Amino acid sequence: MARVVPLTDAKIRALKARDKAYKVPDGDGLYVYVSPKGTKVFKVRYVLHGNSSTITLGRYPAMSLSEARAKRDEVRAQVARGVKPVLSSRSDEIQSMTFYQLCDRYIDHRSDLSVSYVKDVRGLLGNHFYPTLASLTLDEIEPIHVIKCLEVMNKKGIVDAARKAGSLLDRIFRYGVTMQLMRRNPMADIDVRVIITPKKKRNFAHITDVDEFRALLLDIEAYWGAHSIKQALRFMPYAFVRPANVRFAEWCEFDMDEKLWRIPAEKMKMDREHMVPLTDSMIEIVEEMRGISERWVFPSPQSPFRNLSENTLNFALKRMGYAGKMTTHGFRHTASTLLNEHSHIHGLGRDIIEVQLAHAIGGVEGVYNKAIYLEKRRRLMAWWSEFIDGLKSA
């Protein structure tokens, strides 16, 4: 008999529908039944008193692989005692599930999350919420438990992290309600804005004079520092995304054939995917980084396994003599100002510029799918790229 190779979540996710239903074994009677429609169900085959029977455990991914194996062991234990298997009820599962288990299950369910983001999520939950919530069952969690955790974060001054945590918890609890693991979402009764102290708005130093912008571009071209720092600084005026997006840019996000940089929702301030059309000049800069790091487009000069640190690029601008004159975030202000001032030339309105800046826009435009304006955004980025190239060659 051929040896059964245990399943993994990745293998189960990869199973596709076929013309006929089929089974994929995990071992000890447990298998995944895949219907012609692509539905995946965990089942266990057992033999009791010489008769072969099957019991259905639950549908994947509502039931995780580890949970299915635990249920399989429950069935085997009952069969070993000569008892017909009867699984514990769903209500028992709900009553016993803890916040920690819900978070684990949510993360397992979100197969689209990057390894780095999962690490950040686990760190955020572990540092600020697990000490209070981890052992509580889902029915025991009250809004006050979450509020106290957020208040502690606010007192520490980590308001950005607190806002992200509020959004993350809301997604996790909504997942719990959707999967019928909990009866209500504690975040539904919490207004995070009331808890978090408003952050003072910073006016990032930036350049809007065309001649000064030209001088800056030329100074970047002449930068004498590390190659990855120089390339990141060269790229930022073209892309005018938030500095963190450049620092954490990964090769898997770039589609050179389609000429698109897709920044995942979890890396964006507005929690939605952002698309940056790439021009030939932008692709040329990015391709010069190829082969240095398997993951990061602009890795740390100290190690290809780390991304650029938070202050590296701003320190480089200071060393170039732009302290108090320009910051990496200032490239967004520069692009916004000059693109709006030249709208009569490129012929694209403020709404297109705002979408490319990844700003929320109101009215009907704010409801439209982010891809609606993609072709216009390609035209905008092409004009802006030519504008920058022209300044550098003048």
- Same domain for 264 and 383, yes or no, is yes
- Same domain for 382 and 280, yes or no, is yes
Please indicate, yes or no, if residue 80 is contained in any of the structural domains: yes
| Cα four-point dihedral sign 84, 85, 88, 89 | negative
- Same domain for 49 and 127, yes or no, is no
* SS3 per residue for 270-307: CCCCEEEECCHHHHHHHHCCCCCCCCECCECCCCCCCE
Q: Which domain holds residue 77?
A: 9-87
- Same domain for 20 and 169, yes or no, is no
Q: What is the pTM of this model?
A: 0.53
> For residue 147, what pLDDT is reported?
94
SS3 state of residue 192: helix
Among the listed residues 94, 98, 194, 175, the one whose alpha carbon sits nearest the alpha carbon of residue 137: 98
Please indicate, yes or no, if residue 205 is contained in any of the structural domains: no
Domain with residue 388: its CATH number is 1.10.443
Q: What are phi and psi of 31, to 5 degrees?
A: -150, 165
Six-digit token string for 82: 């000569």
- Same domain for 373 and 295, yes or no, is yes
- Residue 132 contacts residue 149 (beta carbons within 8 Å): yes
> For residue 146, what pLDDT is reported?
93
Q: Is the peptide bond before 186 cis (omega within 30 degrees of 0)?
A: no
- Same domain for 190 and 51, yes or no, is no
Query: Which DSSP category does 98 fall into?
Result: B
> For residue 250, what pLDDT is reported?
95
Domain boundary among 170, 195, 220: 195
Q: Using CA atoms, how far apart are residues 168 and 232, in angstroms rounded to an integer?
A: 30
- Same domain for 24 and 122, yes or no, is no
Please indicate, yes or no, if residue 4 is contained in any of the structural domains: no
As for how many domains the chain has, the answer is 3
> For residue 365, what pLDDT is reported?
44
* SS3 per residue for 22-60: EEEEEECCEEEEECCCCCEEEEEEEEECCEEEEEEEEEE
Domain boundary among 195, 223, 254: 195
Q: Using CA atoms, how far apart are residues 133 and 126, in angstroms rounded to an integer?
A: 10
Q: Using CA atoms, how far apart are residues 72 and 67, in angstroms rounded to an integer?
A: 9
Please indicate, yes or no, if residue 2 is contained in any of the structural domains: no
Q: What are phi and psi of 7, to 5 degrees?
A: -75, 160
Please indicate, yes or no, if residue 382 is contained in any of the structural domains: yes
- Residue pLDDT tens, the chain, 394 long: 557 788 998 899 999 989 888 999 998 899 999 988 888 989 999 998 888 888 888 888 878 898 889 889 988 988 888 888 876 655 455 556 789 889 988 988 887 777 878 888 888 999 999 998 988 888 889 999 999 999 999 988 888 889 889 999 999 999 988 887 888 899 998 999 899 887 655 567 888 899 999 999 999 999 999 999 999 999 999 999 999 999 999 999 999 999 999 999 888 876 678 999 999 999 999 999 999 999 999 999 999 999 998 789 999 999 999 998 999 999 999 999 999 999 999 999 888 999 999 886 544 444 344 456 889 999 999 999 999 999 998 7
| Cα four-point dihedral sign 385, 322, 327, 312 | positive
Q: Using CA atoms, how far apart are residues 328 and 123, in angstroms rounded to an integer?
A: 27
Domain with residue 18: its CATH number is 3.30.160.390
- Same domain for 162 and 244, yes or no, is no
Among the listed residues 244, 264, 237, 265, the one whose alpha carbon sits nearest the alpha carbon of residue 253: 264
Q: Using CA atoms, how far apart are residues 265 and 71, in angstroms rounded to an integer?
A: 35
- Residue 295 contacts residue 250 (beta carbons within 8 Å): yes
Query: Which DSSP category does 181 fall into?
Result: S
Query: What number of other Cβ atoms are within 10 A of residue 116's Cβ?
Result: 15
Please indicate, yes or no, if residue 202 is contained in any of the structural domains: no
Six-digit token string for 371: 């891809």
Q: What are phi and psi of 93, to 5 degrees?
A: -65, -40
- Same domain for 265 and 383, yes or no, is yes
